[in-house]
Structures are given as C-alpha cells and as structure tokens.
Amino acid sequence: MARIIIFTGKGGVGKSSVAAAHALSSAKMGKKTLLVSADTAHNLGDIFKIQIGSKIRKISENLDALELDSDVVKREIFPEVKNTMLDLMGKSGIGITNLNENFSLPGFENLFSLLKIKEIYETNQYEHILVDCAPTGETLALLKLPELLAWYMEKFFPVGKKIVRVLSPISKLAYKVILPSVKTMDTIEHIHKKLLELQELLKNNEICSVRLVCIPEKMIVEETKRNFMYLNLYRYQVDTVFINRIITDEIENTFMQKWKKIQSKYIKELEEVFFDIPVVKIPWYPKEIVGETGLELLCNTIEKLPDLFSVKKVTQNEEYFPCKDGYLLKIQLPFIKEEELKIYHHEMDINIKINNVNRCIPLPNILRKSHIVDTKLENGNLYIHFQVEKKKEEKS
C-alpha cells in the first residue's frame, strides 16, 4: 500500500528540506517516490538546483518531483468546471457568459491541487508520495476544505436537486428561466463523490499522516502545538515531530552557546508535550542544505528513525462510548484552554469552535434528537455527554 506523508510547519523552519530528505532516503531504498510541492512559493527547484515546474520531473533514480500549479491543474478540467458553473447559474439572460481562463472560485484552487494528488496516488505509480505543504495556516485551510465542501453538499444538494426537478418545467414556461440540467446536477454529484473519496484517503490512518517541522523558539513551539491541536480537531494523524536547527555542543561560539541554552528549554518542552509521538532532533549544519550532497546530511539524521516511512502513531478521534442515559463523544484536543472552546449543538450536528477555527461534526442517527448535558476537558481530551431522549414505550 502506498504512503502519503504531508509536511507542514511555520514558514522558514526547513520543512521543504526535511521533505526533500525523506524523498531522497526513499529513493535510495529503491522505492518509487514522488516529491510534491503544494506551496505556492515553490522552492524544491532551489533545493535540488534544477528547474522542476508543473510537470512531473525526474530528479534521480526512483525520484520524481512536481511543483503543483493550481492554475495549470484548473485549466486541465476548466471546460467542465466552466460549463457546469454556467449551467448552475441558469440561462436567465443575466449575461454571465464571459467566464474565461482566469475564472476562479475562492479555495477551489487548493481543492484542485488535492484532487491532483489523489489522482496521482490512484495510478499506483509511486510507493511514497511526499507533500511539502504551505505554512501552517494555509495548510490547515487546504486540509479542511474537502470536509467543509462535502458537509455543504450533504446538507443542501439533495434539497436543491429536488427543487430543480420540481420547478424546472414551471420556471421555463412562466419565467423564461432555464434551471440547471440533469447532467449538471449529476456532475455536481460526481464532484461530491470525489470529495468523499478524498476525505477517506487523507484520513486513512494506514495511508496518510502529517509530520510537523519546527525549530526550538517560543513562537514556533506555540504555533506547532496549536497546529497539532487543529489537525487533531479535523482528524488528521500526526505521527512525527522534527525539531530542526539545533545548536550542538561542537559550536563553542559564546553567542551561540547562549542560544543553545534558550533552545534546550524549548526542546525539553516539545519532548514533554509530544511524549507519545516520535521526536527527531536535527542539528544546525555549518553548510547550506542544497543539492543531493547537502541533503545527504539531513538523510543521515532522519534515517536514524526506525522504519522511517511506516506510520509511527495511530490516533483514534471521535470515539463514541455508551453511558447510562446516552453517549460520550471523545475528541483528542491537546493544549486547548477552556476559554478558547465553544460548542454549539444543532439537531443534526455540533459545531466546535476553537479561537477562529470551526469544525462542524455530523452526528450519528442515534444522537439526532439528543441534547448535551455536560462537556469537560481532561488530559488533552474533550468529552461531550449526550443525553438521548427515551422512546415512549421505554418510559412506560
């Protein structure tokens, strides 16, 4: 089974170099490997000192690279997207006919990039697909998009399809408005199916995992912890943390020794908070990590991690446990503070909001008419107690 590993972290911490070193190690093991840059500010070409671009480029034996260009990916499927959008808007004479190659929907470029990675995975051409993602905030926006769009589709599309089926003859005769065709609605259903498949792939614990890259500085450590929490909220599996640019004992410069003391404090904190996840320490090398020679230094460090490409930790999120009068929902949310958390319960789902990040979780059918009687945070887990309304025959 092929593996997808996503690398993310705050900008400038060396995640692209760590991803590239993984790719080189994989290729040396004889595994057919693809290194993908999903960051709009690509730098894989700078690391390997060659031009890569939006077409898959051979780097060395068993190693290919690709710098995803969302515009190029969009143009590959643009005729279908354009025609579907025109039909969806309805031919009502309002003049929405001038969509061109620059047509864009906010966020859809990221979706196209994810779907491209899924498409490559399904070719079974590569054993390891390593994805160098954008800095933390953009990565989170990228990874939560499939679930968000799938949620909207599940809630609203069935209703919309019924309305179109009923009103289409009336709208054409009475108002001269042609509603979307059956073909267009089927296309949207097909997109919905692809979104669900994409979710299933990215959240499959045996296939996909996320690896965090950071450096031992206060702001970076705090963002790494938040990133880990948000990834847990969206059920993405983090299986390794890499601490980059650690000052070693060999460096005797007085100024650097002061920084070494500062770093040691944050290294200890990272080891304590990620106690159940492998933490790999990468030294600060005296030379630039560029070209295969430079990357070999990184390879020597990361290859010390046993079974480098195996899944290091399997996390189980959104576990339901039966209790006396209902169910407990357990979600892993490490490092969260009670004042940062807000929970809203609707009949069909719950909204969990942490700071400015929000996730809507559909509830199983058995909890559709339940209500929340208690919530608590304990040992990095959120517990939500749902009380289920008893049926009349059970009450009597």
Three-state helix/strand/coil letters over 303-320: CCCCCCCCCCCCCCCCEE
Q: Which residue has the tokens 């994810």?
A: 114
Task: Read off the tokens for 375.
Answer: 């919530």
Give CA–CA dist 40/51, Å, rounded.
Answer: 15
Give CA–CA dist 389/280, Å, rounded.
Answer: 49
Give CA–CA dist 269/221, Å, rounded.
Answer: 8
CB 36 within 8 Å of CB 132: yes
What pLDDT is recorded for position 183?
A: 62
Contacts of 46 (CB under 8 A, 6+ apart): 290
Contacts of 202 (CB under 8 A, 6+ apart): 4, 114, 143, 146, 208, 236
Q: Which residue has the tokens 């693809």?
A: 34
Task: Note the Cα 41 to chain centre separation in Å.
Answer: 18
From the list 224, 299, 270, the residue with the least C-alpha distance to 18 is 299
Task: Read off the tokens for 279.
Answer: 């933490």
Q: Could you tell me where the DSSP H helices lie in 234-358?
A: 254-273, 291-302
What pLDDT is recorded for position 149?
A: 67
Which H or E run includes 353? strand 349-354
What pLDDT is recorded for position 146?
A: 72
Phi, psi for residue 135 in degrees, rounded to 5? -55, 165
The edge-to-edge listing of strands for the beta sheet with 238-246 is 57-60, 63-67, 33-37, 128-132, 3-8, 208-214, 238-246, 279-283
What are residue 131's DSSP bridge partners? 6, 36
Cβ neighbours of 39 (radius 10 Å): 23
> In the chain, how many H helices and how many E strands?
10, 15
What pLDDT is recorded for position 157?
A: 52
What pLDDT is recorded for position 341?
A: 94
CB 59 within 8 Å of CB 291: no
What pLDDT is recorded for position 11?
A: 87
Give CA–CA dist 327/32, Å, rounded.
Answer: 46
Per-residue pLDDT of the chain (396 residues), as tens digits, is 799 999 999 888 999 999 999 999 999 999 999 999 988 788 899 999 999 988 999 999 999 999 988 777 766 754 555 555 555 555 544 444 555 555 555 555 667 778 888 999 999 999 999 999 877 667 777 777 777 766 666 665 554 444 444 444 444 444 444 444 556 556 666 766 777 788 888 889 899 999 999 999 999 999 999 899 888 888 889 999 999 999 988 777 777 888 899 999 999 999 998 988 999 999 998 888 888 888 999 999 999 999 999 988 787 778 899 988 899 999 999 888 889 999 999 877 899 999 888 888 888 888 878 899 999 999 889 999 999 876 544 544
What are residue 342's DSSP bridge partners? 353
Q: Could you tell me where the DSSP H helices lie in 29-135?
A: 44-48, 70-89, 108-122
| Amino acid (one-letter) located at 134 | A
CB 63 within 8 Å of CB 33: yes
pTM of the model: 0.81
Contacts of 332 (CB under 8 A, 6+ apart): 232, 315, 317, 380, 381, 382
Direct distance between the N- and C-terminal alpha carbons of the chain, in angstroms, rounded to an integer: 53
Q: Which residue has the tokens 């189980």?
A: 316
Task: Read off the tokens for 18.
Answer: 């760590």
CB 153 within 8 Å of CB 28: no
Give CA–CA dist 43/33, Å, rounded.
Answer: 18
Contacts of 37 (CB under 8 A, 6+ apart): 16, 43, 44, 52, 65, 66, 67, 68, 132
